[in-house]
Amino acid sequence: MAPAVLHSISAPACFSPKQFVTARSSCARSCRVTCIAEPPTVKASTPTRSVEECEAAVVAGNAPSAPPPPPKPRAPQGTPTVSTLHLPSRPRRNRKSLALRNAFQETVLTPANFILPLFVHEGETNSPIRAMPGCDRLGWRHGLLEEVSKARDVGVNSVVLFPKVPDALKSATADECYNENGLVHRSIRLLKDKFPDLVIYTDVALDPYNSDGHDGICREDGVIMNDETVHQLCKQAVSQARAGADVVSPSDMMDGRIGAIRAALDAEGFTDVSIMAYTAKYASAFYGPFRDALDSNPRFGDKRTYQMNPGNYREALIETRTDEREGADILMVKPALPYLDVIRLLRDSSPLPISAYQVSGEYSMIKAASAAGMLDEKKAILESLLCIKRAGADVILTYFALQAARYLAGEA
């Protein structure tokens, strides 16, 4: 299945230029407005008159007939009679048909824009995540491969991995995070063996491995220790690169971690491994379902001494400057939909690619409202993703990646 392009949230995805030829028949079925000009089916008859003869007939005033213009559609009875407004501009003209709307659409969505976050666990089978209907903790050996294979079938070739680590392997210093035979490391090696061209992003942070549930090492008074945490993050990132990760993504929000990780990767010869920095990551209530999925809720306190204050906008520029200076390849804003202004800010302030994370809570809101019959699920998903891209995101981490890509391909 060729990846499709979303031209309009209300248009079937079959209007992708790439799919133009193959999609014609399904278009004709599903479009209310006929927008692809099929040549009229004219019986091939042998011409009887030459061009000169036809022209002479027209010149002599005997023009052949063609259909009259359609009759003017009637307005409902009771419509007021008014004089025409003399408007220099009528923006609705450019929206009057599907073909025109498609032609003038500024933002288009493709499956190549999506990164699919996947939860893995040690189990043999998948287990559903209560707070994220439709998402499972995937068995790393089977379920993971099946999910990735399905995603690739619809053009989604980038994934980011999150492990559900057994409690017995968690510790206050989270050393399991750089175990070369840990769950993430094994999963990367298996995926690379099966799908060598898959782009694998990893999460760099201590929380899935930390008995305290925080992204950094906690001192006994609850303070998150910055520089000591960065030391562990460097070991984690290098171990992930060694397993075959393409892009490491520090989501921990410690100061100085991008530069330290860049230096650690380079020192080990991983100059080709990229860093996607969680640049503007806010202390958000919308991470709730994710923490449920990984059983990684902080044991005490919250993450407000390292994640950003949702009330702050300009502060994102400080994080942008430091991450750029320290060598980030991609800058991320997280969450996405409540922070579109911040996405636009980073877009306009940095020449680096911008990513946005449509987080677990954003996913679960749409799922729950749709299941309750309050939203049209397909339209809500595609509109939310389109708007995140319009705000300035090049790529979007979204649990809807597979579902949205299938919609774009005209399935479902």
The residues that are catalytic are 281, 334
Closest CB 403 distance from ligand PBG, rounded Å: 15
Burial class (CB in 10 A: 0-12, 13-18, 19+), 6: buried
* DSSP secondary structure code for residue 394 in this structure: S
Closest residue by beta carbon to ligand PBG: 290
Q: Is 203 in the site for ligand PBG (CB under 6 A)?
A: yes
Considering only CA atoms, which of 197, 325, 327 is closest in space to residue 266? 327
Closest CB 258 distance from ligand PBG, rounded Å: 15
Of 32-40, 203-211, 367-375, 400-408, which segment contacts ligand PBG by CB under 6 A?
203-211
Closest CB 93 distance from ligand PBG, rounded Å: 42
Contacting residue, 187, 251, 364, 398, with ligand PBG by CB under 6 A: 251
State the sign of the Cα–Cα–Cα–Cα dihedral 233, 236, 239, 244.
negative
Q: Is 276 in the site for ligand PBG (CB under 6 A)?
A: no
Q: Is 232 in the site for ligand PBG (CB under 6 A)?
A: no
Residue 301: what residue type?
Answer: G
Closest CB 359 distance from ligand PBG, rounded Å: 4
How far apart CA 280 and CA 309 sit, in angstroms, is 10
Q: Considering the complex, state which of residue 242 and residue 291 has its C-beta at the smaller distance from ligand PBG.
A: 291
Q: Considering the complex, state which of residue 147 and residue 207 has its C-beta at the smaller distance from ligand PBG.
A: 207
Residue 95: what residue type?
Answer: R
Of 182-190, 202-210, 235-243, 374-382, which segment contacts ligand PBG by CB under 6 A?
202-210
β-bridge mates for residue 275, sequence order: 248
- On the CB side of 411, CA atoms within 13 Å amount to 13
Closest CB 188 distance from ligand PBG, rounded Å: 17
Cα 22 to the center of its chain, rounded Å: 26
Which residues touch 207 (CB under 8 Å, ≥6 apart)?
213, 214, 215, 252, 294, 296, 298
DSSP secondary structure string for all residues of 340-372: HHHHHHHHHH-SS-EEEEE-HHHHHHHHHHHHT
Contacting residue, 114, 119, 209, 290, with ligand PBG by CB under 6 A: 290
Number of shown-chain residues binding ligand PBG (CB under 6 A): 12
Contact, 272 vs 298, CB < 8 A? no
Q: Considering the complex, state which of residue 176 and residue 215 has its C-beta at the smaller distance from ligand PBG.
A: 215
**Which x/- pattern, by CB under 6 A, does the window 343-382 give for ligand PBG?**
----------------xx----------------------
Site residues for ligand PBG per CB under 6 A: 203, 205, 207, 215, 251-252, 287, 290-291, 303, 359-360
